[in-house]
Amino acid sequence: MVTLIAIVIMLACVVLAFFILVQAPKGGGLTGTFGSTTSQIMGVKQSGDVMEKGTWTTMGIIAGLAIISVMFFSAPDTKGDRQPARTGAPAQQQQQQQQAPANQ
């Protein structure tokens, strides 16, 4: 499940990058410094609203998926007293469990 969420987050990041790169500059920065007025004269007014809403929506989807993905991770072992992995047949495991209290 974590893999599926990670793939969806990656796709949403690509969509977010598209929205950011397609947006027209809002003025200031280097565009205003060099006197470029072509984006102000020939720019489309309504597409900015759609691009901005798409940016915020995609960002919200990424944040929501990141929070949801935390629920699928297992909690780390904080005790530090891990038991070694047991191998062998169930009869051997039962025999090891019975011998363990006697050895302590």
Is the whole-model pTM more than 0.75?
A: no
- pLDDT for 23: 81
Inform me whether the pLDDT recorded for 102 exceeds 90. Answer: no
> pLDDT tens, 68-77?
998 887 766 6
Confidence of residue 10 (pLDDT cuts 50, 70, 90): very high
Inform me whether the pLDDT recorded for 79 exceeds 80. Answer: no
> pLDDT tens, 20-31?
888 877 665 555
Q: What is the 3-state secondary structure (H, E, C) of the chain?
A: CHHHHHHHHHHHHHHHHHHHHHCCCCCCHHHHHCCCCHHHHHCCCCHHHHHHHHHHHHHHHHHHHHHHHHCCCCCCCCCCCCCCCCCCCHHHHHHHHHHHHHHC
